[in-house]
Amino acid sequence: MATEDPDAESPDTFAAYRQFFSLERDVLVLSLAMFAFSLGFQMTSRYVPEYMAALGASAFVIGLFGTVGNVISAVYPYPGGALSDRMGSRISLTVFGLLSSLGFLFWLLAPNLGTIVVGGVVLEPWIWIFVGLFLAQAWKSFGLGATFAIVKQSVPPSQLARGFASTEVFRRSAFLVGPLIAAGVLYFFTDFAVGFQYVLAIAVVFGVIATAAQHFLYESEEDSFGKEFEGLVAIRNDLRDLPPELRPLLIGDSLVRFANGMVYVFFVIVVTQFLEVGLELGPLSLSPAVFFGVLLAIEMVVALVSMPPAAKLAESVGLKPVVALGFAVYAVFPVLLISAPDSALIVALLFAFSGLRFAGLPAHKALIVGPAERDTGGRVSGAYYLVRNAVVVPSAALGGAIYGGLSIPGTDLAYAGSPTVAFALASLIGVVGTAYFLAFGKEFEAYA
């Protein structure tokens, strides 16, 4: 059984909010930047697939967009950390903030940038969405390993889940506010593409303000996120040294996330085009696109409310059952959504249910970093997510091919596509991953 530091402070779910309002300069600046960029990304990214469809992209191209996002999530953290070490925190934060803001700008201007021809192939304006994606995710390359390491070193082992709940509640507040802002803006436009451009313009403004705040207010002199990057040898060593207790979790998690990745980018299209479900409340009429923003807010309210008690519950029942609950919700949600009637109430209840997948997130992070030695939490979590995200890379493209169909050029081979098959297969893979983790997953010793 791991021993606890009697002098360590018990993690408080609302500590992140109190740190922000304490007006400690660096905490305030970095918290503001984290919130602003999360806000900009969450008010835009979940709507981008619908935006791409309006620009003429096929279901396979939209799936490919999700796959490229998976690639970026897998490969950005290591070079991002290397650049941070080389340039210093202040300059690197400014550069990555500007790149993210530029990414939102590319999304905004995509309809006006026109088509391009590559090797005789005409690419529609949606190609600029891919260009913007490489930029918009730049700021997200910071902080993952550092967050794990800081929490690992700051709280007793038996309270890791509550420690992660504290950081997640603050960060995911932007996940609640962002979609509501988007829904509010879209409410005033009958043309989705036009309304979404206003949403993107707001995201650009948020990004620029956050970048300026970082550059002029951040006073840290020689700090950086993590140790010096040592190249591919360091990556190989970190992967080889992953604690063996993590392997069942990594396998189950990878299957669950692969399943979710197959259909995640299509959630907005299922609501707006497949189910075509909106909301009518007396004189208030919400289009499916606007209603989707409300659904995301409902999902995040449940997430924010459920994470703290779930983290506390893990101290009594263990991390494994709480993590398995989150995996199970991930697994069954796709088939439930694609099978739902076009009822606003039922769809809203489904998204509320989906919010429970976040209940297991703090426990999940605690289970990842728990077995790591005290000063290796950042490297262990970085290696874990590198493997998981690499496995998930092709999921969205595969899901897009199954969802919308695919033909092989120069042949008569073609698949018509089926949203129902894509979502049902995703749930099946997710159930397999959940079952594998339940059968072989290990409990962190401090929670056993």
Burial class (CB in 10 A: 0-12, 13-18, 19+), 223: exposed
**How far apart are the C-alpha atoms of 360 and 326, rounded to whole Å?**
5
Q: Between the CA of residue 91 and those of 19, 87, 215, 218, 310, what are the distances in Å?
A: 24, 6, 7, 10, 38
**How far apart are the C-alpha atoms of 405 and 418, rounded to whole Å?**
7
pLDDT at 439: 95
Q: Are the CB atoms for 266 and 159 separated by under 8 Å?
A: no
Which residue is it, tokens 């989707």?
292
**How far apart are the C-alpha atoms of 176 and 42, rounded to whole Å?**
8
* Strands 279-281 and 121-123, sheet pairing: unpaired
pLDDT at 308: 82
pLDDT at 175: 84
- What is the distance, to the nearest Å, from the Cα of residue 340 to the centroid of all Cα atoms in its chain? 24
Give one DSSP letter per residue of 157-168, joined into a string: GGGHHHHHHHHH
Question: What DSSP state is assigned to residue 442?
Answer: P
Q: What is the mean pLDDT of each successive set of 10 residues along the chain, which is 448 residues long?
A: 45 51 51 78 92 93 92 74 60 82 95 83 88 86 49 57 58 84 94 95 92 73 47 65 81 96 96 94 89 95 88 85 95 97 96 93 80 54 80 93 82 82 97 96 66
Cβ-Cβ contacts under 8 Å for 347 (sequence gap 6 or more):
271, 275, 277, 295, 337, 340
Question: What DSSP state is assigned to residue 412?
Answer: S
**How far apart are the C-alpha atoms of 444 and 425, rounded to whole Å?**
31
Task: Classify 411 in phi/psi space as left (phi over 0), alpha (psi -120 to 50) or beta.
Answer: beta
pTM, whole model, 2 decimals?
A: 0.82
CATH class, 15-219+237-447 region:
mainly alpha
Which residue is it, tokens 């199954």?
402
Supply the angle between the helices 246-263 and 319-338 in degrees, to the nearest 10: 20
Q: Between the CA of residue 418 and those of 48, 231, 263, 332, 423, what are the distances in Å?
A: 21, 43, 12, 18, 9
pLDDT at 191: 93
Token pair belonging to 199: 């949403």
**How far apart are the C-alpha atoms of 214 and 143, rounded to whole Å?**
15
Helices then strands, each counted (H, E), the chain: 20, 6
pLDDT at 5: 46
Q: Are the CB atoms for 403 and 418 separated by under 8 Å?
A: yes
pLDDT at 281: 82
Cβ-Cβ contacts under 8 Å for 324 (sequence gap 6 or more):
360, 434, 437, 438, 441
**How far apart are the C-alpha atoms of 436 and 252, rounded to whole Å?**
6
Token pair belonging to 63: 């799936």
Token pair belonging to 203: 């995201």
Label residues 41-69 b or e (16+ Cβ within 10 Å = b). Answer: bbbbbbbbbbbbbbbebbbbbbbbbbbbb
For residue 265, which of 157, 130, 435, 111 has the smallest C-alpha distance?
130
What residue ranges in 140-267 does DSSP mark as E strands?
A: none
For residue 212, which of 60, 62, 32 has the smallest C-alpha distance?
32
Supply the angle between the helices 377-392 and 246-263 in degrees, to the nearest 10: 40
